[in-house]
Amino acid sequence: MKYFIYTLILFIGVLQINMSPQTMSNDNPFFKEYTTPFQTPPFDQIKIEHYLPAFEEGIKIKRTELDTVINNPEAPTFENTITAIEKSGKLLTKVSRVFFNISGSNGNDETQKIAETITPELSKLNNDIYLNEKLFQRIKSINDEKEKLNLTSEQLKVLDNYYTDFVRNGIGLDEEKKTRLKQINEELSMLSLKFGDNLRKETNAIGLVIDNKDDLIGLPDATIQGASELAKQNGMEGKWAFNLQRPSFTPFLQYSEKRNLREKLYKAYLTRGNNNNGFDNKEIIKKIIALRNEKVNLLGYKTYADFKLEKNMAKNPETVNKFLADLWSPALEQSKEEVIEMQKLIDAEGSNFKLAGWDWWYYAEKVKKEKYALDEEMLRPFFKMENVRQGAFDVASKLFGIQFVKRDDISVYQPDVDVYEVKEADGTHIGILYTDYYPRNGKRAGAWMSNFRGQSNIDGEFITPLVVNVGNFSKPTEGKPALLSFDEVNTLFHEFGHGLNGLFGKSDYPGAKRSPVDFVELPSQIMENWASHPEVLKMYAKHYQTGEPIPDELIQKIINSQYFNKGFETVEYLAASILDMNWHMLNDVSNIDVTKFEEMSLNKIGLIPEVASRYQSTNFNHIFGGDGYSAGYYGYMWSGVLDSDAFGAFLENGLFDKTTAESFRRNILEKSGSDDPMNLYVKFRGREPKPDALIQRLGFNN
């Protein structure tokens, strides 16, 4: 998983809640102004017992502030209504940003209990504000007069966001339907929370234990060492354990010569959330889909996809489905060619079996080695994590003239988290970047960017951002640093791109920062183009022992293999995107069988058995662990069109051309969310994107 937005956007209203009274204790750091550098969260002072009192007090203050807006006797203006709402809830936002980030990256049973306590309360509050008729009438009156108010383009965007949010959240419904909508929203919030917690536990579970050293045949030394350390951490010293995090199971599937063990680990990964145990997600999915359908039917939409896509660049399901279908046929044909290549190797070995899903990584590595004289382990020594991270920093410095300064005086929530101050070339402070790259039991799978504080500039008070990049990359092992796979390198650059988007923000209002999912991946995916460019590889890819830069012949092998396995990669992604759309175009989910529906969806498009969808329904956290990417997982590929075309501007003008970089920063990174995304893109590129840029990068027309 490349990216998952993990920022809670809170717009919370008036509600009495059944929690015991709490006082603003002097030892609760949330109740005080942080005295830390740049007012960063004092993680060394924050304790588990501080969260609930801070949430309760934050809700109370938010309620009071919004009551003032709602009952203001003055005629509604942008300042006394929209700006006042934007200024409200500082304490609630403060504690929410910390808590929900920590629960995702360093969670435990205690944080889960807090989440289970506070999530329904936040959902109730959210319902209450969006269904407040008096507040809506104030917003509506401003919206009705907006042409006369001389508002900036950003103010118009914020106003439109608030107005349409009320409409899309049911303000026009009768009281009976509003009551039902509240119930649906509260149920959905808890179901998504449970889905994500189940998946976290299943992903961090041990999928395979080996106690016979002979069963390690073919595995790299670093993989064996990591498995030994994981076993030791789980009380199985002298054995080797593999969990279902990618840094653990992927190298096993790539290199293990034990086909039966590859099959066992592969199936354990695919069936996360589908094991008929206490962490099974099938019934949760059925309830989520049924409730989402009921919700949008109340709001007058035919399907949930129609509802969600209305606010995206694609606008409707028909556009998305055509986009995916146009890519599906060439990708599927390419994957079939890849199957033929690997089957030839199997046959040449004298093996009597057909290629299966658990064989793909293993034989793909063999094809790469035979065809391009390249395999993953040849590259890893050149991708020490610290060097890769510095490479991303150096690219940003050359493009935008910024600098990254390590700060050891800023508190962190885990020892392996690093902190950097980001500055302009002249030393002006931009923001803080936290990097958190290694798996742990309390961390959910995947990689994402979030923030502990967002950028804003209301009334000229410029608030600088506190951004965090989170990943689950290959860890250091005893006597050896963290050596990343090339895929992990791309993921690090990807999330760093999101980080730059957060750091460079120049919006006045937090409510302006809403990029649709089919645009939000542009700032991240474009960075991957620099990660693999030969000139940039020379900058950061250095052997971890000798410090020698990656040799030209190895770079050439990477270039020669740039289209390798693209069929597989594209098909598994498209299959997941189509599965997402199929779930959210359903009209009736009564008596549906989750597993059979998934099989039917994938069989209908002709998915070959050798390739699995990137996510199965029961572990598709993007669409069921939250609502951000539901009917929106296609957005990565849609943004692929944008980033392929946008990077073309740098290839045309110069890899580090200052004018092009300044335009990208000013129009995309600083302003994304504050204007129509196509308007922003055209301001940068001078035209709309050309769709064939993505096809060329995938190599399907070569």
- Catalytically active residues are 495
Distance between CA atoms of 296 and 589, rounded to whole angstroms? 14
Identify which of 34, 4, 37 has the alpha carbon closest to the alpha carbon of residue 94: 34
Residue 458 near residue 155, CB atoms below 8 Å: no
For residue 140, give the 3-state DSSP assignment: helix
Backbone angles phi, psi at 466, to 5 degrees: -120, 105
Residue 368 near residue 375, CB atoms below 8 Å: yes
Task: State how beta strands 240-243 and 206-210 pair.
Answer: antiparallel
**Looking at this protein, which amino acid is placed at residue 425?**
A
Task: State the CB neighbour count (10 A cutoff) for residue 232.
Answer: 14
Task: State how beta strands 429-436 and 448-453 pair.
Answer: unpaired
Task: State how beta strands 466-470 and 448-453 pair.
Answer: antiparallel
Matching residue, tokens 């006797």: 73
The DSSP secondary-structure symbol of 632 reads T
Distance between CA atoms of 465 and 457, rounded to whole angstroms? 11
**What residues pair up with 422 in beta bridges, in sequence order?**
404, 431
Task: State the CB neighbour count (10 A cutoff) for residue 685.
Answer: 20
Distance between CA atoms of 485 and 49, rounded to whole angstroms? 39
Torsion region of 565: left, alpha or beta (phi above 0 gives left; psi -120 to 50 gives alpha): left
Residue 572 near residue 611, CB atoms below 8 Å: yes
